[in-house]
Amino acid sequence: MSARDQLTPILALADVEVNGARAWDIQVHNPDLFSRVAAEGSLGFGEAYMDGWWDCEALDEFFHRVVGADLGRRLELTPALAWLAITSRLQNRQTKARARRVAKVHYDLDVDVFEATFDARLTGSCAYWLNAGDLDQAQEAKLDLVCRKIGLEPGQRVLDIGCGWGAFMGYAAERYAARCVGVTVSTEQVAYVKRRYEGQPVEPLLMDYRDYSGEVDHVVSMGMFEHVGHRNYRAYFRKARSVLKDGGLFLLHTIVSGERSPSIEPWLDRYIFPNGVLPTVGQIGQATEDLFVIEDFENFGAYYDRTLMAWHANFMRRRGAMAAKYGERFCRMWDYYLACCAGGFRSRRISVGQFVLSPHGVPGGWRLER
């Protein structure tokens, strides 16, 4: 049986046809695609898209169907994927020595890539769309929600673990008169935050979260826990607890997997988030035992689909300029990244949410009207 004959019925399980007429059907330009996928799995499939071997009009909907049907588990295990699975189980892929790899591959890209994609504040995590009309409003709503959930007051000091381009710190300083310190392993992010928020009580540090010391009123972390790794979850929460005042709150905003043992997607691991792995709600609960009381968990995973599609629309409006500077292959990589993640959240196999954690439990219980 040919590689095409093997792959075609697998795609049919997700109602996807080869060279079909529907928007989510794939259009194959190079017949070697099928043997490439047979040999290299989903990594080869993604790289073939980058190389222009196939296209899809509605790439996000294609991934919604593929992820929802769990087709990845139906492909034969390739040697590279087997090795990735083994090393992720046996090694600590998120040691201090390896932590900067994700910055080199992704976060240290020139800032204009993220300016072409994100909102005005460069908020690189899921927005909160409940009463928002556009991306900027939805991201500001998310940042304000975080401030309200921790009960942020003027003059309080907040640590942002994985501060990104400073969206939360800038918002908290401007709107709540807070004093903020953030840690990141990206030199580009530190430089950007220093430029943008010069004169504000905002301090970005080029530092692994494990090396931070001090005392703060509150801790927040958005879109960073996905880089921590299961071998480090307990150390991560111990660090947060060690710097947090007894009356403070810790808000953790993270993607969570619905699988007991989340798999690592090799294409994303190579091109977007090296050494990243999604936690489960159960893993977070276990890692916080005897350190924090879980006061609240809000799941708004469906909002990440909408956020990613807004990012995709932004990038497509600037795609010509991006292609002129970075090339067509980079743009196809970015398109693939945004669309495959949007489809994943649309399938609801992955979610995103916010945990509110307290060291000893809020007297009388934590309350916030959403």
Q: How many helices (H) and strands (E) does the chain have?
A: 16, 9
Residues in a beta bridge with 232: none
What number is the average pLDDT over the span 238-259?
A: 96
Judgement on whether residues 148 and 274 belong to the same structural domain of the protein:
yes
Q: What is the mean pLDDT of the chain?
A: 92
Instruction: Please give the full DSSP string across 185-221, using - where no structure is assigned.
Output: S-HHHHHHHHHHTTTSSEEEEE--GGG--S-EEEEEE
34 & 124 share domain: no
Residue 37 pLDDT more than 60? yes
Q: What integer pLDDT is reported at residue 71 of this predicted model?
A: 79
Look at residue 8 and tell me if it is in a domain.
Answer: yes
Measured between alpha carbons, how far is 34 from 188 in angstroms, rounded to an integer? 39
Q: How far apart are CA 54 and CA 19, in angstroms?
A: 10
| Residue partners of 132: CB distance under 8 A and separation at least 6 | 138, 140, 141
Q: Residue 177: left if φ>0, alpha if ψ -120 to 50, beta else—which one?
A: left
- Phi and psi (nearest 5°) for 301? -60, -35
CB 28 within 8 A of CB 18: yes
36 inside domain? yes
Domain termination residue (choose one: 88, 121, 150): 88
Same domain, residue pair 144 and 32? no
The rounded percent of the chain whose pLDDT value lies above 90 is 82
The pLDDT score that the predictor gives to residue 83 is: 45
- Spatial contact of 272 and 90, defined as CB atoms under 8 Å apart: no
* Domain identity same for 110 and 241: yes
Catalytic residue positions, numbered: 341
**217 band by pLDDT with thresholds 50, 70 and 90:** very high
Q: What pLDDT is stored for residue 112 in this prediction? A: 98
Distances (CA, A) of 1 to 7, 11, 38, 57, 367: 10, 16, 12, 29, 60
Distance (Å, whole) CA 251 – CA 160 = 10
- The β-bridge relationship of strands 244-257 and 350-358 is antiparallel
pLDDT in tens, 97-107: 677 888 899 99
Query: Is the domain of 119 the same as that of 267?
Result: yes
**Within a domain: 340:** no
* Side-chain-facing half-sphere of 334: CA atoms under 13 Å: 23
* pLDDT at residue number 233: 96
Q: Please state the rounded mean pLDDT for residues 335-343.
A: 97
User: Within a domain: residue 316?
Assistant: no
Are 65 and 207 in a shared domain? no
Tokens of 66: 């593929």
Inside any domain, residue 365: no
26 and 156 in a single domain? The answer is: no
CA distances from 117 to 74, 183, 343 (A): 33, 23, 17
Residue 3 above 60 pLDDT? Answer: yes
Distance CA 139, CA 348 (A): 21
On the 0-12 / 13-18 / 19+ scale of CB atoms within 10 A, 86 is: exposed
CATH code (residue 291): 3.40.50.150
Name the pLDDT band for 223 (thresholds 50, 70, 90): very high
Selected residue with higher pLDDT from 99 and 239: 239
| Enclosing domain of residue 77 | 3-88
43 and 119 both lie in a single domain:
no
Q: Are 30 and 67 found together in one domain?
A: yes
**C-beta of residue 108 within 8 angstroms of C-beta of residue 165:** no
Q: What is the pLDDT of residues 189-211, one digit of tens each?
A: 999 999 999 999 999 999 999 99
Inside any domain, residue 21: yes
Of 187, 196, 233, give the one whose Cα is nearest residue 122: 196
Other Cβ atoms within 10 Å of 91 Cβ, number: 13
Q: What's the rounded mean pLDDT across residues 339-362? A: 96
Residue at 313 is within a domain: no
**Is 204 found in the same domain as 59?**
no
Of 39, 63, 88, at which residue does a domain stop?
88
Same domain, 226 and 286: yes
Q: Determine contact, residues 8/18, Cβ cutoff 8 Å.
A: yes
Element (H, E) at 270: helix 266-271
How many CA atoms does the CB half-sphere of 159 hold within 13 Å?
A: 28
Given 88, 123, 142, the domain boundary residue is 88
User: What is the reported pLDDT for 173?
Assistant: 98
Name the domain count of the chain.
2
> Tell me, what's the pLDDT at 86?
44
**Residue showing tokens 């989903």:** 42
Residues linked to residue 294 through DSSP beta bridges, in sequence order: 357
Residue 367, pLDDT score: 87
The predicted-structure confidence for 44-93, as pLDDT tens digits, reads as follows 999 999 999 999 999 999 999 999 988 776 565 455 554 445 455 545 65
Domain membership flag for residue 52: yes
Residue 317 pLDDT exceeds 50: yes
Shared domain for 136 and 254, answered yes or no, is yes
pLDDT of residue 357: 98
The first and second tokens of residue 186, run together, are 């990206």
